């Protein structure tokens, strides 16, 4: 299967509710991650790297920051004369409007699907951080002669309500889908679903005509016996972000060099370029086990933390186990522990703020403390 | 379609920069890395864009591959334009024969057709050798205000350094009364920065005349400007008072990098109103490991640091292992400093590997004869073997093995 024969379809708002605070100002897919990225960067990079060249993003709400981030798609080499990135905002015709669930979302963009000639569609949610090799998944789909292939990971199931857990036969064909199963060791869906575009159109039209709502139950599970639905296990670094706790853990996991290697070395991960100066360390800076992006100015102490672009750490400040997003300003002699500061938070001098590893303290965008 | 632009810039980027030795063995001087993520040419290109000049001809000649590749379609500087934008101009074959660019003026002469396409009133001549932030639009306004034929940007330099520069004697109204080229006992400390604004009609005529003159060396500073002066054209000096540094030598390149760590130096690259653009490496944020000691330094993305870094500038994807020490040095992209190696007062080019226990460079205080001291340079792709010693002032461009 030629990768440029696969149309990408991204749902950036699914699971917004898992990171309620952070998604009050943005879509799930544009939540900042890993010091200089947005979650969608991993997906768009993987799609672009495997050779896909046309990607539709079905937005629902709070998508201004996402549009700003993606722009023309140039950062991912997706500013194309033929293809590229298409933002598909809610389109209010007679029966659509803001969609609920994937079936409605896709039925709202049937025109877009119809107007494009790609033979296949790869659908993806915007809450997974991974560097999947989609071309291997396409090859698997062909080799198995599958109708539908769903990427999955093995391990502890995410706590999103509606995490789908699979059972396979020896060949990899999915025999059952259990919704909301919680297990420490299972194969759960990553929401990357590949099928022929014509099949997707057919399934969606059928579902809409019967007022079906759930993609998983009404389309996937109902068709387990008629359609060959295969699971494709992805390896490497995979995190499904389902809560503020898992968001915290996933960022901190990048302090491990093996995890960084898995996520960043198998393929380049692109993001919007900010043209910041390299990070500057001052006279009494003391930084250990931390990830530091360009544009940071560090004059204090930073331990076990992730600093996004343009973060300032004042003299005598101590930052431990923190995730500080773009342009956070930590003043002199502040002490922070287990804090997640959203963009442009300002913390005045000599403040002490502390959360817990399981319940990190989240400070909303542009808050002044 | 009208392509007309009031001002366009011509950037002379063909220089070899021979005083940078092995650093410019395979790349032109404007492509030399600077400041953790930049190359020298990012400064004039960013200045152009920030000054509202969106048509830039870049004249290349010496080792243009890396420079051409770096500039690409100009997107990194927002110079990918439907009208104008950045254009690489290399010497080309003509019906009368093929010629290299013989001098700075000849390089512009050979591209008269390019300039004429935009029918400009003013042409800004720049070089790709200097680190500075300058609003060229102000200089062009000054040029207009003075109704000048040629305006030369000038900087007051310390008197003791003046003999190294081309100097100008300036009247009260800003007009230039006399030139002095690197005089032994200077009468002025007003140095030319190598940034010129010409009224194009005038310059076009002088370039043709200069080309016809067999005795000319076809150089702006040597031939064209003195000739204009001689003929009584209106020559003015435009005073600039910010940071400006010629990074033409190893020492000045080393110094200019470390200037970025000095808060007293007037070169702020963090100003969002005057960004310096560059091609950004695609790599994750840098990682400072447990036990890393980093102070007074600039560290770019993608670095992995477990050792000790002081007063240094590290470019993207540099690795400094535990127990390695880097002091007062510049380490260019993708180089690796292995455990136990010591790098001090050195410039380490791209893709270098310094094996464990090796020592590169020396502190000036530790020298018995200070005249023998100098910055050590390790060329691109070189491997410095285990326990090897690279003495001060050395330039290493081939692998050196285990001691």
pLDDT in tens, A213-230: 889 888 999 999 999 999
Q: How close is the nearest chain A Cα to the Cα of B352, in Å?
A: 20
In this complex, the residue of A264, A281, A288 whose CB is nearest that of residue B284 is: A264
CB B366 within 8 A of CB B397: no
CB B346 within 8 A of CB B379: no
Q: Which residue has the tokens 């023998």?
A: B372
Q: Where does residue B252 rank: exposed (0-12), middle (13-18), buried (19+ CB within 10 A)?
A: middle
Asked if B270 and A277 come within 8 Å (Cβ–Cβ), the reply is: yes
What's domain A280-363's superfamily in CATH? Hexapeptide repeat proteins (2.160.10.10)
Q: Residue B269 in contact with residue B277, Cβ under 8 Å?
A: no
Task: Determine the pLDDT at residue A80.
Answer: 87
Which of B285, B300, B330 best tests the A interface by mutation, with the highest count of A CBs <10 A? B285
CA quadruple B102, B106, B108, B110: dihedral sign: negative
**A94 has a pLDDT exceeding 70:** no
Question: Is residue B280's pLDDT more than 80?
Answer: yes
A288:B304 CB<8 A: no
Residues found in chain B: 403
Question: pLDDT value at position B265?
Answer: 92
DSSP state of B277: P
Question: Mean per-residue pLDDT for A81-104?
Answer: 75
Q: Which residue in chain A is spatially nearest to B298 when comparing CA positions?
A: A280
* Contact across the interface for B289 and A289, Cβ inside 8 Å: yes
Q: What is the ipTM for the molecules in this complex?
A: 0.91
pLDDT score, position A98: 60
**What confidence tens digit (pLDDT) does each residue in A337-355 have?**
999 999 999 999 999 999 9
pLDDT at B181: 83
Is residue A273 within 8 angstroms of chain B, CB to CB? yes
Tokens (6 digits) for A29? 């897919």
A35 → closest Cβ in B276, B284, B292: B284
Using one digit for the tens of pLDDT, what is the confidence trace for B301-342? 999 999 999 999 999 999 999 999 999 999 999 999 999 999
Nearest CA to A130 out of A232, A262, A246 is that of A262
Among the partner-chain residues B261, B285, B315, the one whose CB lies closest to the CB of A291 is B285
Q: Quick one: average pLDDT of B349-377? A: 94
What does the pLDDT average to over A282-300?
96
Q: Is the predicted pLDDT of residue B164 greater than 90, yes or no?
A: no
**Touching B: A residues 67-106, CB under 8 Å:** 74
The secondary structure of residue A50, as a DSSP letter, is T
CA distance B91 to B62: 10
Q: Which of B133, B284, B313 to mutate to test the interface with A (most CBs of A within 10 A)?
A: B284
pTM > 0.90: yes
**Which residues from A are below 8 Å from B315, CB to CB?**
278
pLDDT score of A42 more than 90: yes
> Distance (Å, rounded) from C-alpha B52 to C-alpha A246?
46
What's the number of CA atoms in the CB half-sphere (13 Å) around residue A228?
A: 12
Chain A positions touching B33 (Cβ under 8 A) are: none
List pLDDT tens digits, range A268-278: 999 999 999 99
The token pair that represents A180 in the structure block = 């909301």
Cα A206 to Cα A212: distance, rounded to the nearest angstrom: 9
Closest by Cα among A74, A29, A13 to A272: A74
Residue limits of CATH 2.160.10.10 in chain A: 280-363
Q: Is A278's CB within 8 Å of B314's CB?
A: yes
Cβ–Cβ under 8 Å, residues A82 and A116: no
Q: Residue A283 is nearest to which of B36, B292, B296, comparing CB atoms? A: B296
B39's tokens? 């190359």
Q: Given pLDDT bands bounded at 50, 70 and 90, which one contains residue B403?
A: low
Residues of A in contact with B43 (CB under 8 A): none
Question: Which tokens is A257 given?
Answer: 């060099």
pLDDT over threshold 60, residue A95: no
Contact A269 B284 (CB under 8 A): yes
A21 pLDDT above the threshold of 90: no
Nearest to B280 among A260, A263, A275 (CB): A275
- Cα–Cα distances (Å) from B403 to A131, B355, B357, B384, in that order, read 43, 11, 10, 10
How far is residue A80's CA from residue A73's CA, in Å, rounded to a whole number? 8
Q: What is the dihedral of CA A249, A250, A254, A258, to 10 degrees?
A: 100
Ranges of CATH 3.90.550.10 domains, chain A: 3-264
**Closest chain B residue to the Cα of A285, Cα to Cα:** B295
- Whole-number Å distance between alpha carbons of B319 and B305: 6
Task: Identify the CATH homologous superfamily for domain A3-264.
Answer: Spore Coat Polysaccharide Biosynthesis Protein SpsA; Chain A (3.90.550.10)
- Length reported for chain A: 369
Q: Count A/B contacts: CB-CB distance under 8 Å.
A: 102
Look at residue A20 in the predicted model and tell me its pLDDT. Answer: 85
- Whether A32 and chain B come into contact, CB under 8 Å, resolves to no
Least confident of A10-19, A46-55, A121-130, A176-185: A176-185
Return the pLDDT at A300. 97
Q: C-alpha angle A334/A293/A349, rounded to 5°?
A: 15
Cα–Cα distance between B284 and A288 in angstroms, integer? 17
* Closest chain A residue to the Cα of B258, Cα to Cα: A280
Number of helices followed by number of strands (H, E) in chain B: 8, 33
Identify any residues that bridge with B304 across adjacent strands, giving them in sequence order.
Answer: B287, B319
Contacts of A269 in chain B (CB under 8 A): 282, 284
Q: Which of the 8 DSSP states describes residue B400?
A: B
Return the closest-CA partner of residue B121 out of B95, B82, B149, B96: B149
> Do residue B275 and residue A279 have CB atoms under 8 angstroms apart?
no
Number of H helices, E strands in chain A: 8, 28
Find chain A residues with C-beta within 8 A of B260's C-beta: 280
Q: Tell me: the pLDDT tens digits for A119-165?
A: 999 999 989 999 999 999 999 999 999 999 999 999 888 876 667 89
Strands (E), B15-82: 33-34, 38-39, 55-59
Residues 287-316 of A with CB under 8 A from B: 287-295, 297, 302, 306-308
**To the nearest 5 percent, what fractions of chain B are helix, strand and coil?**
25, 30, 45
Residue range B47-59, pLDDT digits in tens: 999 999 999 999 9
User: What is the average pLDDT across B65-76?
Assistant: 92
């Amino acid at each position: 299967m030629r990768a440029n024969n696969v149309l990408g379809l991204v749902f950036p708002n699914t699971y917004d509710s898992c990171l309620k605070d952070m998604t009050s100002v943005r879509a799930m897919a544009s939540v900042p991650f890993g010091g200089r990225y947005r979650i969608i960067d991993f997906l768009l990079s993987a799609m672009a790297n495997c050779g896909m060249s046309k990607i539709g993003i079905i937005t629902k709400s709070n998508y201004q920051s996402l549009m700003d981030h993606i722009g023309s798609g140039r950062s991912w080499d997706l500013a194309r004369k033929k293809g590229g990135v298409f933002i598909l905002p809610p389109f209010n015709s007679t029966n659509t409007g803001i969609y609920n669930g994937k079936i409605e979302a896709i039925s709202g963009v049937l025109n877009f699907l119809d107007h494009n000639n790609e033979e296949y569609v790869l659908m993806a949610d915007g809450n997974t951080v991974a560097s999947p090799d989609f071309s291997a998944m396409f090859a698997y789909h062909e080799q198995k002669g599958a109708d539908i292939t769903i990427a999955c990971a093995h391990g502890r199931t995410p706590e999103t309500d509606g995490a789908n857990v699979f059972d396979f036969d020896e060949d990899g064909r999915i025999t059952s889908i259990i919704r909301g199963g919680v297990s420490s060791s299972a194969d759960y869906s990553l929401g990357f679903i590949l099928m022929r575009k014509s099949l997707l159109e057919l399934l969606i039209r059928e579902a809409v005509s019967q007022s079906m709502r759930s993609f998983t139950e009404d389309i996937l599970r109902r068709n387990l016996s008629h359609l060959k639905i295969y699971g494709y296990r992805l390896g490497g670094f995979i995190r499904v972000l389902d809560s503020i706790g898992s968001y915290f853990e996933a960022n901190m996991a990048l302090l491990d060099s093996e995890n960084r290697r898995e996520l960043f070395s198998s393929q380049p991960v692109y993001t919007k370029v900010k043209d910041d100066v390299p990070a500057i360390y001052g006279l009494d800076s003391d930084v250990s086990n931390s990830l530091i992006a360009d544009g940071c100015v560090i004059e204090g102490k930073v331990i076990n933390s992730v600093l996004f672009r343009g973060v300032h750490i004042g003299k005598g400040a101590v930052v431990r186990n923190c995730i500080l997003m773009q342009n956070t300003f930590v003043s002199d002699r502040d002490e922070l522990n287990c804090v997640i500061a959203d963009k442009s938070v300002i913390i005045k001098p000599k403040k002490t703020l502390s959360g817990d590893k399981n319940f990190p303290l989240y400070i909303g965008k542009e808050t002044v403390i | 379609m009208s392509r007309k632009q009031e001002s366009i810039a011509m950037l002379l980027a063909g220089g070899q920069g021979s005083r940078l030795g092995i650093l410019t063995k395979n790349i032109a001087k404007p492509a030399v890395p600077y400041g953790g993520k930049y190359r020298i040419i990012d400064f004039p290109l960013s200045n152009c864009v920030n000054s509202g000049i969106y048509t830039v001809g870049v004249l290349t000649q010496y080792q243009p591959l890396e420079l051409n590749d770096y500039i690409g379609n100009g997107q990194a500087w927002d110079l990918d334009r439907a009208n104008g934008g950045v254009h690489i101009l290399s010497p080309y074959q003509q019906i009368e024969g093929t010629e290299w660019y013989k001098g700075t003026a000849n390089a512009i002469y050979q591209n008269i057709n390019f300039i004429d396409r935009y029918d400009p009133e003013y042409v800004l001549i720049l070089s790709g050798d200097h680190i500075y932030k300058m609003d060229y639009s102000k200089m062009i306004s000054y040029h207009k205000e003075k109704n000048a034929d040629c305006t030369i940007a000038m900087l007051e330099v310390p008197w003791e350094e003046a003999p190294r520069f081309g100097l100008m004697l300036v009247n009260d109204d800003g007009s230039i009364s006399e030139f002095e080229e690197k005089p032994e006992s200077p009468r002025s400390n007003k140095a030319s920065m190598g940034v010129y604004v010409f009224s194009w009609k005038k310059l076009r005529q002088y370039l043709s005349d200069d080309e016809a003159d067999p005795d000319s060396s076809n150089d702006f500073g040597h031939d064209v400007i003195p000739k204009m002066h001689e003929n009584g054209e209106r020559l003015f000096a435009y005073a600039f008072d910010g940071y400006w540094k010629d990074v033409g030598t190893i020492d000045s390149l080393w110094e200019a990098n470390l200037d970025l760590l000095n808060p007293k130096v007037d070169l702020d690259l963090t100003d969002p109103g005057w960004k310096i653009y560059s091609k950004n490496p695609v790599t994750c944020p840098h990682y400072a490991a447990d036990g890393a000691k980093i102070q007074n330094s600039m560290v770019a993305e993608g670095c992995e640091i477990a050792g000790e870094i002081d007063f240094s500038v590290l470019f993207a994807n540099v690795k400094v292992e535990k127990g390695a020490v880097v002091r007062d040095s510049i380490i260019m992209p993708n180089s690796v400093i292995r455990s136990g190696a010591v790098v001090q007062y050195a410039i380490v080019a791209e893709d270098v590997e310094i094996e464990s226990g090796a020592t590169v460079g020396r502190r000036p205080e530790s020298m018995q004869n200070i005249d023998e001291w100098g910055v050590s340079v390790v060329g691109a792709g070189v491997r410095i073997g285990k326990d090897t010693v690279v003495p001060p002032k050395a330039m290493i461009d081939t692998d050196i093995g285990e001691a």
